[in-house]
Amino acid sequence: MNWQEEDLKYIWHPCSQMKDYETLPPIVIDHAQGINLYDIEGKCYKDVISSWWCNLLGHCNPRINQAVKKQVDTLEHVIFANFTHKTAITLCQKLMEVLPKGLCKFNFADNGSAAIEMALKMSFQYHYQTGNPQKKRFMALADAYHGETLGALAVGGVDLYSEIYKPLLLDVIRIEGLNCYRCQWGKCRDKCNCECFIKAEEAFTKYADETAAIIVEPILQGSAGMKIYPPLYLKKLRELCDKYNVHLIADEIATGYGRTGKMWAFDHAGVCPDIMCLSKGLTGGYMPMAIAITTQKIYDAFYDDYTKGKAFMHSHTYAGNPLACSAAIEVLNILKDENIIENSQEKAIYFNNIIKNKFLPLNNVGEVRSIGLINAIEIVKDKNTKEPFDSSLRLGYQIYKKALEKGVLLRPLGDVIYFNPPLIIEKNDMDYITDIALECTKEILEKR
């Protein structure tokens, strides 16, 4: 059987122009181990993007495998309204040990976009039920990404995903100016006072009375090209939200679970959001699950007699799924038992150094930026002016195809080549994948 032909006969792949599959047909993966994916012909691909940033501890991790196998023989699923189970309760208990102080109430969903929708609705309903029905709008950062459902798309700011749907979307207040590589104030992200925060202050001054919440990807804007900004921005934002009674929603779906070198990206700032959304690394990339976690204060605004109509009437069929919860518990156990995040920090220094040494000398590499094990290489037409290449050239895509030929899965964001590997990656794989990425980048740039 030709599995590629059968795939294309039936499957509409996500985030893809299917016409591209005429020249790059789908790669049929048979099995995986650690950071390695193996296709049906036995070829190995190094998964250094963690299969869309969710594979935290390597494919087919034996401890997570065993936890899920054990759970499936006990309880596979149960309705989560008026029923519960030990696995979900245990997961909440373990998360309480590592969450920012103040977060304590867990509302389960089945994917990251759904968690964002819950957070937005939760914030709006809270204000409606506490005497501020005028707070109907949301603020978000420029170049944000928060998911693909309509509410999540609305607060997102990457036109590639949302432009066509704008007639359907909420009218969101967009805060511009947060672009450290091309800073309007000529500052460096490591040595600034977040002068760009004036844009947030202006927005709050003008719109805070009608705003329910601001949602942010803390420290790292992933789909925008792995853009990194200072923790000070979050500290200032926390103060502004407190001043104007605006909720601060943390989208930690991509940044949580040690991706930025700390358990949560918000930990870099030492402040707590009002609502935090988790997914991706939550189950180690094993099972679809997400959680919107909030404070006692927000929870209390919904707690009343049923006839008062204050309940949060939002549900997901697979909320609190026991199989996903069992994987999530074991992820937390492994992080603790094996000091995964702490150990990854020493490896992160090595990884960033070899990437800088290999890529910064190239004429068309404008910046190498890093946080935790995440590293991003921005390719530009002119290193001095930071002018980008014409997007129609699809240089990043060409590098991606060339790297696949050599057994490395990169999948760039536009012309930003990035690495976001499982936290268990070893130095020999770092050396190998950066050598391959460098070869492919040079080859494509020489042909442009």
- Nearest to residue 285, comparing CAs of 55, 1, 11, 41? 55
Q: What pTM did the predictor assign?
A: 0.97
pLDDT at 119: 98
**Residue 80's pLDDT is what?**
98
CB-based contact 422:339 (threshold 8 Å): no
Q: Phi and psi (nearest 5°) for 46?
A: -80, 115
pLDDT at 286: 97
Domain 3-60+341-447 sits in CATH 3.40.50.720: no
Domain ranges of the chain: 3-60+341-447, 65-337
Give the pLDDT of residue 200: 98
Please tell me the distance from the alpha carbon of residue 136 to that of residue 138, in angstroms, as a whole number.
7
Looking at residue 232, its pLDDT comes to: 98
Distances (CA, A) of 245 to 135, 208, 238, 240, 422: 10, 8, 10, 8, 38
pLDDT value of position 39: 98
pLDDT at 20: 96
Which residue ranges of the chain lie beneath pLDDT 70?
Answer: none
Given this model, what pLDDT does residue 314 score?
95
**pLDDT tens readout for residues 155-214:** 999 998 999 999 999 999 999 989 999 999 999 998 999 999 999 999 999 999 999 999
Given this model, what pLDDT does residue 430 score?
Answer: 98
Angle, CA 278 vertex, CA 300 and CA 178 arms, to 5°: 100
- pLDDT at position 448 is 78
The 10s digit of each residue's pLDDT in 206-257 is 999 999 999 999 999 999 999 999 999 999 999 999 999 999 999 999 999 9
CB under 8 A, 24+ apart: contacts of 2-5? 3/28, 3/40, 4/28
| pLDDT given for residue 34 in this prediction | 98
pLDDT score of 447: 86
Domain over 65-337 is classified CATH 3.40.640.10? yes
**3-60+341-447 and 65-337: identical CATH topology:** no
Q: What angle do the packed helices 322-337 and 340-359 form, to 10 degrees?
A: 80
